[in-house]
Structure 1
Amino acid sequence: MRSAHTPAPAGQTDTPAGILMGTCSWTDPALVASGWYPRGHRDAEGRLRHYASRFSVVETDSTYYALPSARNSRLWVERTPEGFTFDMKAFAPFTGHPVRARALPPELRPPVPPHTLIRAEKLSEETTRELWRRFRSGIEPLRAAGRLTSVLCQFPPWLAPGVRAYDLIEQCRAGAGVPVSVEFRHPGWFSEPQLPDTLAHLKQRDIPWVAVDAPTLPPVVHATSSLLSVVRFHGRSPSWGTGSKEARYRHRYAPHELEPWVPRIRALARDTERVHVLFNNCCSDAAVRAAETMSGLLAEV
């Protein structure tokens, strides 16, 4: 992995050293349809090249829905400049989410219709180990090229604190083969006295706690890794937790909503080598515009 203080790719909005700005996808259909990508940059290669000319990091959310491919990873390395980096979202069953049978390799699928939703705990340990092996193989070109920072493990809102949850974190840490970061959705993780115990657990293992901006979760901001901190902005939709994905994440951030995060992000940058600031409010070009606004706010003296 490159140093946090390597200059960001040319053409991007300046942010303080060590703070990398981006979004949680560059291929979201709403973004592609928004017109943000200029003429001549709307094919697969052109989109990524244009995105990487504007931002220094991206979260690849497609790996939550399906295993990554080494071919795509090699293409992503070729299409992005030195200094650009990826966070890969963990495949759904690794973090306790259900998965459609069709997302599994044919030889690892149970004998059910392709659209069947399979609970993660129904997969055997052997199958899960093989899925992790294929996941690592799929992201290896990015890791080898120094373009992979971490695997994001976003745990479901039904995963409460406890022995099973801590075991799942360790399984992800071991399975990924690269650094992981963790995001919790269950409110129990944010409550006293659980929060100090969780932060201590992560700090002992140098695992980043992912801070979030979301309607029902508090803005808990702590640097639990010396190498990386992550902040993810999910928007403030009243449909958070219900409805379609588009409804849950539909929000356009106003500057006054982002301003309180400026000192928090700067504090993280003082305590860790690198901070990834990622916008997940997927509504047309809302995420890229919010990232541009935050870059401007952070650049102000």
Structure 2
Amino acid sequence: MIYTGLTGWGDHYDLYTNGVRGTDKLGTYSSFFPTVEVDSTYYAVQSETVWEKWIRDTPDNFRFVVKAYAGMTGQLMEKPPFPDELTMFEAFRTSLNPLIESGKLAMILCQFPPWFDCTKEHVMKLRNVREMLSDVPVAIEFRHQSWYSDQFREQTLAFLHEHDYIHSVCDEPQAGEGSIPIVPVATHKEKTLVRLHGRNKAGWRKETAGADWRKVRYLYDYNQKEIQEWLTRVEELHETSTDVYVIWNNNSGGHAAGNARTFLDMAGITYEGLAPKQLSLFEEER
């Protein structure tokens, strides 16, 4: 199956009617898409109670791509609120128990930072992560070009395959070492992740975008030719991976939802079992 969704569900205002209250947004979102990437887990380990609510708010066939806590991928600026790394991983993994038991966990996404380059130390880090998350599906996303250099590309893909890692295939601006090329290769026979960040080269790095860097980094509207190119890649990935998750992250200007729906239209994909569409403010309930 090809799952299509967005990063988060709170800010996609074009999906919501005037009758939607804040607490209804996930339910409304799940009437359009069968999957979502949860980014709040990057900033804090969520409680099981929170997960239980999100599970109730979505239909049975809905799937969550859960972004790993920042401390797990070495991106926490302050000292982690855990005594050691093992405790941190165990807390994160335990918090996902309701999601795992419900069958709604698609994967954990470990997105490593631009300074996480291809070195022996970092390869060992990847081995340790897999050991600590051995019983759940895990996707790896790199943001340093060295992993896909001529010297290491095939070794990187072979390593991901050997350790049962899901490959995160990315589309992003080509802006030096802190960005990666498009490498449409599946390393896991059951799942592949595609993340579309846009191609705003000027906004990708703080050095070029300035103080508003985070507001404009994902400012990009894919045209139909670009969406068609990605549809072709996704269909090819689907030939070697049972499920492909396509996540649109180009939402600085609110383009993600529209691009995702265009992708579905071009692919001729419709989903069964989505949540019922929310009633508008003035629609009579039947």
Give yes or no for TM over 0.5: yes
1:68 is aligned to 2:46: yes
* 2:283 alignment partner in structure 1: none
| Alpha-carbon distance, 1:151 to partner | 0.4
Aligned-partner SS, 2:110: strand
- Mapped contact 1:19–1:276 kept (Cα < 8 A): yes
AA at the equivalent of 2:226: E
- Specify the alignment match of 1:36 in structure 2: 15
Deviating above 4 A after TM superposition, structure 1's stretches of 4 or more consecutive aligned residues are none
Equivalent residue, structure 2, for 1:288: 257
Aligned residue number for residue 52 of structure 1: 30
SS at match of 2:31: helix
- 2:103 maps to a residue whose letter is G
Which string of whole-angstrom CA distances, capped at 9 and with x for unpartnered residues, describes residues 168-214 of structure 1?
21222222341100011101111112000010111112211111110
- Work out whether 1:132 is the aligned partner of 2:89: yes
Partner of residue 148 from structure 2, selected from 171, 176, 190: 190
Report the Cα distance in structure 2 between the residues aligned to 1:268 and 1:129, rounded to whole angstroms: 34
Please give the TM-score of this superposition, normalised by the length of structure 1.
0.81
Cα distance change, pair 147–214 in 1 and its aligned pair in 2 (3 A): same
Correspondence 1:227 to 2:190: yes
- Distance in 2 (CA, whole Å) between partners of 1:186 and 1:154 is 11
- Percent identical among aligned pairs is 33
The question of whether the paired residues in 2 share the 8 Å contact of 1:70 and 1:141 is answered with yes
In the alignment, what sits opposite 1:21?
4
Q: Does 1:202 align with 2:160?
A: yes
**Offset of residue 157 of structure 1:** 0.7
Unmatched 5+ stretches in structure 2: 175-179, 270-286
Aligned equivalent of 1:152, options 86, 98, 109: 109
What secondary structure, in the 3-state scheme, does the structure 2 residue paired with 1:209 have? Answer: strand
One-letter amino acid of the counterpart of residue 99, structure 1: M
Task: Work out the CA distance in 1 between the residues paired with 2:99 and 2:46.
Answer: 11
Q: Indicate yes or no: 2:56 matched with 1:98.
A: no
Shift of 1:230: 0.6
Question: Where do 5+ consecutive residues of structure 1 fail to align?
Answer: 1-17, 109-125
Q: Residues 73-98 of structure 1: CA distance to partner in whole angstroms, max 9, x if unpaired?
A: 00011010011000100001211212
Stretch of structure 1 that moved more, 90-99 or 54-63: 90-99
SS state at 2:204 partner: coil
Count of residue pairs the alignment pairs up = 257
For the aligned residues, what is the CA RMSD? 1.6
Matching residue's letter, 2:31: S
Letter in 1 for 2:227: L
Post-superposition CA distance 1:209-255 (Å, at most 9, x none): 11111011321110100110010000111211224222111112221
Q: Decide whether the 8 Å contact of 2:191 with 2:241 is kept in 1.
A: yes
Q: Determine if contact 2:218/2:253 at 8 Å carries over to the other structure.
A: no
Shift of 1:40: 2.4
The corresponding residue for 2:273 is none
Secondary structure of residue in 1 paired with 2:30: helix
Name the counterpart of 2:279.
Answer: none
Residue 49 of structure 1 and its aligned partner are, at CA, apart by: 0.5
| TM-score, normalization by structure 2 | 0.85
Are residues 1:84 and 2:80 paired?
no
- String of CA shifts for 1:42-88, please: whole Å, max 9, x gaps: 312x1000111100111101111111211110001101001100010
Q: How far 1:284 sits from its partner (Å)?
A: 4.5
In 1, the alpha carbon distance for the partners of 2:265 and 2:125 equals 38
Look up the equivalent residue of 2:52 and give its one-letter code: R
Match of 2:203 in 1: 239
> Quick one: which amino acid aligns to residue 222 of structure 1?
V
Q: Could you report, residue by residue, the CA deviation over 1:123-144 in whole angstroms, capped at 9, with x for unpaired residues?
A: xxx5221111111121111111
Supply the AA of the counterpart residue of 1:261. Answer: W
CA distance in 1, matches of 2:228, 2:166: 23
Secondary structure of 1:53's counterpart equals coil
Could you tell me which residue of structure 1 aligns to residue 125 of structure 2? Answer: 168
- On the 8 A contact 1:173/1:179 being kept in 2, the answer is no
Instruction: Tell me if structure 1 keeps the 8 A contact 2:26–2:58.
Output: yes
Matched, 1:215 2:198: no
